[in-house]
Amino acid sequence: MIYLPKYLVIVESPAKAKTITKYLGTKYAVKASYGHLRDLPKSQLGVDIDNGFAPKYITIRGKGDTVKELREAAKKADRVFLATDPDREGEAISWHLAHTLDLDLEGALRVTFNEITPSAVQNAFKQPRRIDKDLVDSQQARRILDRIVGYKLSPLLWAKVRKGLSAGRVQSVAVRLIVDREREIWAFQSKEYWTLQVSLRPSLTKPFQAKLTGRELSSQAEVDHLSSVLQGLPFVVKAVKQTEKERKPSPPFNTSTLQQEAAKRLGFSAKRTMRIAQTLYEGVELGKEGAVGLITYMRTDSTRLAQEALSAAEAYVKTHFGLPYHALRQYASKRGPGVNSQDAHEAIRPSYVDRKPGDLKAALSTEQYRLYKLIHDRFLASQMSNARFDTVQADIQAGDHAFRAVGSRLVFPGYLALYEEENDDEETKEAGELPVLEVDQVLSLVKQLPKQHFTQPPPRYTEASLIKALEEGGIGRPSTYAPIIDTIQARGYAGKEQKRFVATELGQVVVDILAEHFPELVEVKFTAAMENKLDAIEHGQTTAVDVLREFYAVFAEQLEKALVGVEKIEVADEETDEICSLCSRNMVIKAGRFGKFLACPGFPACRNTKPLLKPIGVSCPVCAGNIVERRSKRGRLFFGCSNYPNCGFVVWQKPNETPCSRCGAFTVEKKRRSGEVYSICGNPSCGAVPK
C-alpha cells in the first residue's frame, strides 16, 4: 500500500522546502513554487486604469510545468498550506498560489515563520491564518505603480533620448541622488587650510602630541610666523580633566545595516549580501544534520528581538565572557511601532546562537562563513555591556595660543571583546594614553608638526552610503535596495569607479528630463510619502485604488505635456580608435552594470563587445606589457596584462608606484587581519615584502 501525505505545503524555493521537510513529519509533502507563478504581462501595460486599476495577471513563461505539478499535488491533499516568506512579497506569492490552485481564500491557508527552526516551524503550523488581503493590496499597489511609471515613461525616453532606456519610480530617485552628488563635486571649490600639532615632553617621560585650537591657519606664511613665535614660548598645562566615557554597541542588523556593513567590511555588493543571506536563512547542509536554517528572515526594517533570543544571548554571553559583559537591551524601530510592515519581524540574528561561526566554518562556503560571523557577532555584541574608557583632556597654553591634548585608555572592553566597528578602531588609535600631567606643569617643545590640508568635496556614494541615504530618506524598502542598485547600473545611468558611483551623461540627461516634467518622481519627500501610503494600505488605513487614482491624476497630465514639451536630446557615445574586429567600425564606449566597455556602434546588426582596457601606468613583471584594469564576470575589479591571452598575469590588488627594492617590479598593498596595511612585490617570482 502506497502512503500519500495528507497535507501539501508550498514554499518559494527547493532549499527552503528541503530544510522544513524534516521538521514536519511524513504527513506533509513540501514543494516549491520557484518564486512567483503569475505576473503582469511584459508585452503590454496589464493594468486596466479605467476599471479601478485592475491588474491582468498571466502565468509566467516557463512556469507551466510547476503549475501543473502543484495543481495535481493540491487535488490529492486534504489540506494545503502556503508557507512563503513572511513579508509583502511572500504574502502576494501565496495569494497568487491560492488563485492559481483554486484554493479557498477565506480558509486558514497561510503559515509564516521568521526563522526556520523546529520550534518556529511547528508552532507556525499550529496557528495558520487567512491570507492578509491588506498586505497583498499593498504589494499590488507597489507593483502597479511601478508598472505604470515604467510602461508610460519608457517610450518617452526612447523617443526623446535613446532606445532601450527605462524609468523607475524608486530607481529614478536613487539616480537623482548620484547626479546631485556629482554636480556638488563639480561645483566644489577647494580651500587651503593648515593644522598645527606640537610634540611636547614632560620631564623623564615620552612626548605626546597636542593640537592648536581656537584659530584657523589658512596659509604656510601664517604657519611659519606662528612657528617662530612658539619656538621661544613656554608650554604650560592650564587644566586637566579626567572623565569616564562609555560607548554603546550598535543594534543587531536589519536589512539595510547588514548591506551597509557587509559592503564596508567584506566588500560585498547589496545583491551578493542578500543572495548569501537567503541561503543562510533557507538552510545550509550541515553533515548528518541535513539542511539547517542558520539566520532569521533577512528582509526586515526591525531591530527588535524576541524574548527567546534575548535569553539565549544572555546565557551565551555569561558563559563565554562572564556576567559583567552582559547587558539586556531591546532596540526600538527607527520608524516607530506599527508604521512599517517589516517591523513585524525580528532583527536579523542567528537562529541558534550556540552555533559558533568557527564550528561551522568547514560546512560553509567562505562567503557564507564571513556573513554568518558578521551577523552572529553583531547580534551578541548588541546584548553586551558598554565599553568603558578613561579619558583625559589637557588644555595647554603657549603665550596667547591654546593647545589641547586628548588621551584615552580602555578600562573595560565590554562588547569590544567580540565586535569592533570601524569607527571604534579609528577613535582608539587617534587617542592614545597621555602621561600624568599636573596644572602649571611646564612642558618642553620637542617638535612642531604643521600639516597642509585642502577642503574636500562630498564623497561619491558607495553602495553602503547610497543604501543609507535611501533608508534615511524613506525611499524604498528592504527588499528593494539591491534591485535598485543593480538596475541603475544595468541601464547605464551610473557606473562605478573605485567602488563609488559616478553619474553618466545619460543618467544626468534622464534625471534632468524627469526633474523638469515629472518633479515628484525624483523628489525624495514625495517618494517617501508614497512609501508611507503603501504602508497605510497594508494597515487598512486607505485603499490601493485611492492611492493609485490620486497618483495617476497628476502623472497622466504631466505625461501628456511632456510628450509635447520634451525636445529630442542626443547623447552621443564616445568614439575610440579601437576597430571592431567583425565589421571594421570604430568602437564606442558604453556604460554597463559593471562599468564601461567597448561596443560596436552597428548594434543590433553587429553585437561585438570588448572590455575597455584602462592602463594604470605600471609594467607587467612577466612580459613588460601594460597592466590594465579588468572586470571579472561578476563585476569584480582586478588588474592584468594587456597582452592577454599571450600573457596571463593577473593580480587582485591595485599596483602602486612604489617599486620593489629587490627586483624593481611594482608592489601591491595588502591588509593584515589587524587592519595594518603593508606592501609586497607584485612579481610572483620575487614576493619580497618591502620595509
Q: Which positions are annotated as active-site residues?
A: 297
The C-alpha atoms of residue 680 and residue 518 are separated, in whole angstroms, by 53
CA dihedral for 547, 521, 467, 11, sign (positive or negative): positive
Q: Which three cell numbers stand for residue 558?
A: 504631466
Contact 667, 655 (CB under 8 A): yes
Per-residue burial over 200-218, b = 16 or more CB atoms within 10 Å of its CB, e = otherwise: bbbeeeeebbbebeeeebe
Beta bridge partners of 487: none
Beta bridge partners of 609: 599
Q: Which of 435, 453, 389, 392 is nearest to 416 (CA)?
A: 389
DSSP string, 27-64: TEEEEE--S-SEE--SSS--EEGGGTTEE--EEPTT-H
The C-alpha atoms of residue 587 and residue 601 are separated, in whole angstroms, by 6
The C-alpha atoms of residue 655 and residue 618 are separated, in whole angstroms, by 7
As a whole number of angstroms, the longest Cα–Cα distance in the chain is 103
Q: Which three cell numbers stand for residue 475?
A: 525611499
Contact 403, 441 (CB under 8 A): no
Q: Is 104 helix (H, G, I), strand (E, B) or coil?
A: coil
Residue 557's CB is within 10 A of a number of other CB atoms, namely: 10
Residue labelled with grid coordinates 504602508 = 535
The C-alpha atoms of residue 648 and residue 627 are separated, in whole angstroms, by 11
- Residue 410 phi/psi, 5-degree rounding, is -70, 120
Contact 419, 150 (CB under 8 A): no
Q: Which three cell numbers stand for residue 344?
A: 513585524
| Cα dist from 215 to 32, 195, 475, whole Å | 67, 10, 41
Residue labelled with grid coordinates 586628548 = 406
**Cβ neighbourhood burial of 610 (10 Å; 0-12, 13-18, 19+):** middle
Residue labelled with grid coordinates 569607527 = 423
Query: What percent of the residues of the chain are helix, what percent strand, and what percent coil, each to the nearest 5?
Result: 40, 25, 40
The C-alpha atoms of residue 208 and residue 432 are separated, in whole angstroms, by 9
Question: 132: number of CA atoms within 13 Å, CB side?
Answer: 19
Q: Which three cell numbers stand for residue 345?
A: 519581524
Contact 509, 516 (CB under 8 A): no
Q: Which three cell numbers stand for residue 192?
A: 587651503
